[in-house]
Structure 1
Amino acid sequence: MGIQQEQPSVTSQQLSNPPRTATADLFGDPIDSHPLWFKQSSFLSPDFDSESYISDLRTFVPFETLRSELQSHLSSLKHELVELINRDYADFVNLSTKLVDVDAAVLRMRAPLIEIREKILGFRGAVEGSLVSLQGGLRQRAEASAAREILELLIDTSHVVSKVEKLIKELHNVPADLSNGDLHTAEKGHLSNGVSTQHTEIGINLRETQSMLLERIASEMNRLKFYFAHAKNLPFIENMEKRIQNASSLLDTSLGQCFVDGLIHKDANAVFNCLRAYAAVDNTRNAEEIFRSTVVAPLVQKVIPVNSGGNIGDELEEDYKQIKILISQDCTFLLGISSTENSGLHVFSFLGNSILKEVVWAIQQGKPGAFSPGRPTEFLKNYKSSLVFLADLEGYCPSRSAVANFRAEAVYVDFIKQWNIGVYFSLRFQEIAGSLDSALVGSSLIPIPKSDSDHQMTLKQSLTLLECLKSCWREDVLVFSISDKFLRLTLQLISRYANWLSAGLSARKTRNSGFEWALAAAPDDFVYIIHDLDVLASEVCGNYIGHVFNILNSCSPQVLDNVKNSILQGGKSLKDLIPSVIDSIIETLVEKSNEELKQLHGIVAAYRMTKKPPPVRHSHYVSGVLRPLKAFLDGERANTYLTEDTKDKLIQGAAVKITNRYNDLAADIVNTARKTETSLQRIRLGAQRRAGASSDVSDHNVSETDRICMQLFLDIQEYGRNLGSLGVEAAKIPAYGSLWQLVAPQDRQAEIRF
């Protein structure tokens, strides 16, 4: 057979051998194993494509390597096929014996298959024809249904238009039918317009009957608008458009007249029915405008005449009070009807589009200056009065959602925008910050006479800062909605004062011009600054924060914490300036003490090249070294305004710096004297050797340097006693210890005692 011819010869030894398996090399890997990139399962994929497979592998596998692997895989497959044939050789041989007369069997099966195929094709054609016929019928049915809907819509539209016209005609006939008075149930069972006899009981008057008819007409007009919206492009509807417009115009006119009549006579039932009619035709704006022009406008005109010619003031507080009284008297009638629960009248906004709109228009026309921030005090008063007025109007809202809707009205938003709070704050900023700047640009510190003030401040600059800080949170200045801006202004004022003071102290230290007040200030003037900084820091971190918290008590705890921390930081920045002011006082006092210390050079002149005996008492200049410090401490300002702790810091700081200067000058004098004395002795010895005189120098006389040191030693003892009188322990000052070691005799070096 054909298959047997393609098979290789198989020996009996091969038949007896088991199937071949891949052998392993020394390392345990199969000899015919493939690399990881060669996936045999890829060939079994239904969508396998040889070209794409090769193109994907060629990007990282050489073509020769790929061909070698494919040939190896082909050989493996052939070998596996041979093994399979050898394993099932008996079945393979029997297969050829069973395939007898296959062609005849195929011919016998082909005829019925062809017949079945023809039947299926015929049935399929019949089904497709039925389907096309069915789809055509369904399409015709849908078109007929759509045409029927349009026809019904047109018929309904025609009926509604006719019904509306009939009801309008009946409406015009109502006054004639009811001219003799109220209807009685015994006289008439029903009205020709279909109103039930229960509506004609005793007490139903003409207005109520008209309003009920109008409500019914409005309901029909609402249906008519619905039909018109769904079929407005049809010729039939276009031909009826003029009739619809006429009916709508007649309804608006009649409804407006009935609504005005009901408002004038305060007929609750008539007004209620009219409002339902307006809501039915979605024409709330007309009702709001009629209420505004009929009821609200005359009331507001009494309070704020539009044609006043500008002869009245711009204050609004009294006007708002009168308007609120008039609203409570004449407007609550309609407001109560419109807020009736489950009435569907919540769509009206008489508060916003009638009352508030008229009030705003009257203010714009009669008192336009009320909105001008050019006069901040009057502007703020009017603004707060307006907020109170709005809050009073919100009191008529029956629910929170009604309040939210009122605030979302365009007239409400526009009214709030009329008050330009940004410009107002800018003017207040210039006013408050400008007053502080004016106080700080002066060329000198300005003390406040005690008789002119009951406050604790001593300088005009400090008092101005405190007044400006308080102005930020005054009731006649603060706008709560922008309190964050006033908080920022508060911190800016503190920072401005702190920068002014720190810059002045720096200029005083470097002697730079531009801060004349600091250059011209005396130490006593800085006492005022220290006192004012203490008072300002205590006030800002104490009562001032409490006052701000009382104003912002409605804010969240987190906001209050942030406010507190920021103000405390500002108070701390003022407190932190006190050490710098103390240092400036100390520098001034040290400079004055240096003038006295310069007399140290007189000691050298007194003992140089003279036979003046050794000193027995201290120099007269010593008492003047600490005199500036004592005079400052004994002054009235220091005793009045400096605390004991501040005095102690000032004394200790001044004592250390003066002693340092004293030590430097004394060390320079002693070292210079010793060098000079050594040079003179060398010269004398040279002269004696040249003259042949004895080189014996008398050691019985005290040298000039020793006498200078003796004088300095007496002086520093007195200086130490003067320090002690000020409460300063001289031995604890490092510079004093160095000075003692410099001039004290050898037997006094170990202990500082005087």
Structure 2
Amino acid sequence: TVRNALIQSTDISLAFDKTLDFIRTECKAMLYVVERINRECGSYFDFVVNSIFPELIQCLEQSSNILFFVGDPDIFHERYSYWLKFLEQLQTILSKISDENLKKSKIYIEFSSRWDLVVYYQIRFQEISNSIENIIVNKSYELNEEKNSLFKTLITLTIFQSIEHCWQKNIFLEPLSHRFWKLTLQCIVRFCVWIETFNIKTIDMKFLLNLYIDLQTFSNEVKKFFHNIILGQRLTSIISLSPNITIELTNILDETLFNLTDKCRQNLKNLIIRQLIDRCNETLHSIQEIPRMYRKTNREAPSKPSSSIITTFRHLQTFSNDYSGTILTEDECKEFQTIAMEEITKNYYELCSEILSSVRKMEDSIQRLRRVRESSKALSNMSQSMTTSSTAALTDDNKIRMQIQHDVNAYTSELKNLDIHIESSNKLTILNEESRLQI
């Protein structure tokens, strides 16, 4: 009989299929008779709810002692999915009143409560969150080696795959929709929080640039996945009951992704530019050695720019050669360089202004000393002789000015070669004028 087949079978789907088939065929006449008696006598007896369903539950419990075991989430998911499918198919057989009676019955409520969905979700949560944390701890700054992947960094790929896992058929369960939706948002937020902890000195620029590009790709792909899979396949029954939920979920997702593509992406951009600025400024700081090179050293007058100027622009050219047209578009690369050069030029102006100011102070001090000497009649002839000899030769201070002028001209020329236009270029003009006027 059906009961014996159910007891002997360990396949829960087979038990459900046999029960449905039994109701449709063997019980068809009985259901008709019961319905007629109920109608004629004014009574109500639900044959499926009161007789068949309790027998099914008893058979299921006798056939498997580990029916509700959640330790293996894959098996648990399979069995619970069969249970949901059975209820859905049973609903098409029952009348609306019978369906309501079934869901209010004690045996249905008790049996349903034995499926420990909370523990199942906790296991899935640990699986998904651990996969993200493992990458963050052990491989946080690694690039993705998969050639055909949409994502260039391993962390972006991992977080996107984690979101996909939340909604896979063999993981997702509709009664846990709200929990998996929350986990989806948590994955994105975890991504944001991780980026906010970046230390500029410990992260490779190439990784930062790839992650910068990945964030926009990630946002686009998550939105596609949201519309095609989450809304289009997993939440269809929920949406049919509450159409407005689509708008609400879309707004929440857009807001969460905006924080990633706007704030986090801008932070990455600032980090990249800061690295470029620091590299150039570190080289430019050698400009401070110019006074020491020419003061009281009898060094010849300068005829070419300092090596620090050439090296500084070599950093910019390397940035363009490595990343323009590969990771960044040409326009993006130019934008990064322009923003960096604005600050670098301001820093360069301050360094040179400080040197020129020091030179002026030194000359003023010497002039005051000469005036004191000239006021002494006993030393007037000697003072005149010193003045003549000093003006006849190129002074150390003038050599310093000449070097700065060569550097400023080279700096301006390199900017033109790279086709970089900056607002602070007027500061270079000021430096050029100051160094020329004092020679």
What's the TM-score once normalised by structure 2's chain length? 0.89
Q: Structure 2 CA distance, aligned partners of 1:408 and 1:540?
A: 39
What secondary structure sits across from 1:371 in the alignment? coil
- 1:583 to partner: Cα distance: 1.4
Shift of 1:687: 4.4
Kept after mapping to 1: 8 A contact 2:356/2:435: no
**Could you tell me how far apart the structure 2 residues matched to 1:726 and 1:563 are?**
47
Match of 2:167 in 1: 473
Of 502, 520, 523, 2:196 maps to: 502
Counterpart of 2:166, as a letter, is C
CA distance in 1, matches of 2:244, 2:164: 23
Q: Residue 51 of structure 2 aligns with which residue? A: 354
Q: CA deviation at 1:470?
A: 0.8
Distance 1:747 1:682 in 2: 23
Q: Is the 8 A contact 2:412 2:428 kept in 1?
A: no
2: distance between equivalents of 1:693 and 1:606? 33
Q: For residues 107 and 50 of structure 2, what CA distance do their matches in structure 1 show?
A: 7
> Does residue 367 of structure 2 align to residue 681 of structure 1?
yes
Distance 2:39 2:67 in 1: 40
List per-residue Cα deviations over 1:210-246 (Å, max 9, x = no partner). xxxxxxxxxxxxxxxxxxxxxxxxxxxxxxxxxxxxx
Matched, 1:365 2:365: no
**Counterpart-to-counterpart distance in 1, 2:429 and 2:105:** 88
Equivalent position to 1:416, from 106, 112, 120: 112
C-alpha contact (below 8 Å) 2:46/2:98 kept by paired residues: no
The residue number in structure 1 matching 2:400 is 708
In structure 2, stretches of 5+ residues that fail to align are: none
Change (3 A) 1:565 1:553: same
**What whole-Å deviation, never above 9, does each CA across 1:64-88 have from its counterpart, x for those lacking one?**
xxxxxxxxxxxxxxxxxxxxxxxxx
User: Counterparts in 2 of 1:173-212, with a 5 A limit?
Assistant: none
Give the counterpart letter for 2:330 in structure 1. E
Any conservation in 2 of the 1:300–1:323 contact (CA below 8 Å)? Answer: no
Contact kept in structure 2, 1:338 and 1:345, CA below 8 Å: no
- 1:67 match: none
> What do the CA deviations read for 1:585-644 (whole angstroms, capped 9, x no partner)?
222222221232122133212331355565443223211112222212211x55422233
Tell me what 1:644 maps to: 330
Secondary structure in 1 aligned to 2:307?
coil
How far off is 1:415 after superposition?
2.2
- Preserved CA contact (<8 Å) 2:408 2:431: no
- Residue 5 (structure 2) aligns with: 302
Consecutive unaligned residues in structure 1, runs of 5 or more:
1-297, 306-311, 510-518, 750-754
User: Structure 1's 632 and 304: CA in aligned 2 closer, same or farther, altered over 3 A?
Assistant: farther
The number of equivalent residue pairs is 426
- 1:686 Cα offset (Å): 3.4
> Cα distance 1:444–1:627, how it changes in 2: closer, same or farther (>3 A)?
farther
**Matching residue's letter, 1:719:** Y
Task: Give distance in 1, aligned partners of 2:116 and 2:364.
Answer: 87
> For the residues of structure 1 that align with 2:25 and 2:437, how far apart are their CA atoms?
104
Answer with 324-333 or 417-426: which moved more.
324-333
String of CA shifts for 1:321-372, please: whole Å, max 9, x gaps.
2332233332222122212372347622221222121111122221132212
Give the corresponding residue for 1:740: 429
- In structure 1, the residue matched to 2:419 is 727
Q: C-alpha separation between the residues in 2 aligned to 1:641 and 1:746? A: 41
Distance in 2, Cα, partners of 1:325 & 1:445 = 57
- In structure 1, the residue matched to 2:246 is 560
The alpha carbon displacement at 1:703 in A equals 4.2
**TM-score if structure 1 supplies the norm length?**
0.53
The alpha-carbon deviation at position 400 of structure 1 amounts to 2.0
- Partner letter of residue 709 of structure 1? R
The equivalent of 1:342 in structure 2 is 39
Amino acid at match of 2:168: R
Question: Could you tell me how far 1:465 is from its partner in structure 2?
Answer: 0.1
Change in CA separation of 1:570 and 1:523 when aligned onto 2, cut-off 3 Å: same
Q: How does 1:207-222 map to 2 (within 5 A)?
A: none
Equivalent residue, structure 1, for 2:267: 580
**Aligned equivalents of 1:740, 1:717: Cα separation in 2:** 9
Distance in 1, Cα, partners of 2:329 & 2:3: 64
**Alignment pair present for 1:528 and 2:196:** no
Give the conservation status (yes or no) of the 8 Å contact 1:407–1:413: yes
1:386 to 83, 87, 90: 83
2:236 match: secondary structure: coil
Q: Please say which structure displays the higher CA radius of gyration.
A: 1
- 1:199 maps to which residue? none
Distance 1:343 1:407 in 2: 26
Contact 1:394 1:406 (8 Å CA) reproduced: no
> How far is the alpha carbon of 1:411 from its aligned partner?
1.7
Matches within 5 A, 1:399-548: 399-442=95-138, 444-451=140-147, 454-504=148-198, 508-509=199-200, 519-548=201-230
The answer to whether the Cα contact below 8 Å between 1:709 and 1:744 also exists between their aligned partners in 2 is no
* Coordinate RMSD, CA, aligned: 2.5
Residues 1:748 and 1:605: Cα distance change in structure 2 (over 3 Å): closer
Cα distance between partner residues in 2 of 1:553 and 1:615: 77
Q: Structure 1 residues 395 and 653 mapped into 2: Cα distance closer, same or farther (>3 Å)?
A: same
1:670 and 1:586 map into 2 onto residues whose CA distance is 29
Q: Could you say if the C-alpha distance between residues 365 and 708 of structure 1 is closer, same or farther in structure 2, counting changes exceeding 3 Å?
A: same
Look up the SS of the partner of 1:369 in the other structure.
Answer: coil
Task: Give SS of 1:449's match.
Answer: coil
Measured in 2, the distance between the counterparts of 1:685 and 1:708 equals: 24
Pair 639,346 (structure 1): closer, same or farther in 2 beyond 3 Å: farther
Q: 1:741 to 1:476 in 2, by over 3 A?
A: same
- Read off the aligned partner of 1:740 and give its amino acid letter: T
SS at 1:557's partner residue? Answer: coil
How far does residue 575 in structure 1 lie from its aligned partner after superposition?
0.7
**Alignment match, 1:717:** 409
SS in structure 2 at match of 1:598 = helix
Output the amino acid matched with 1:418: R
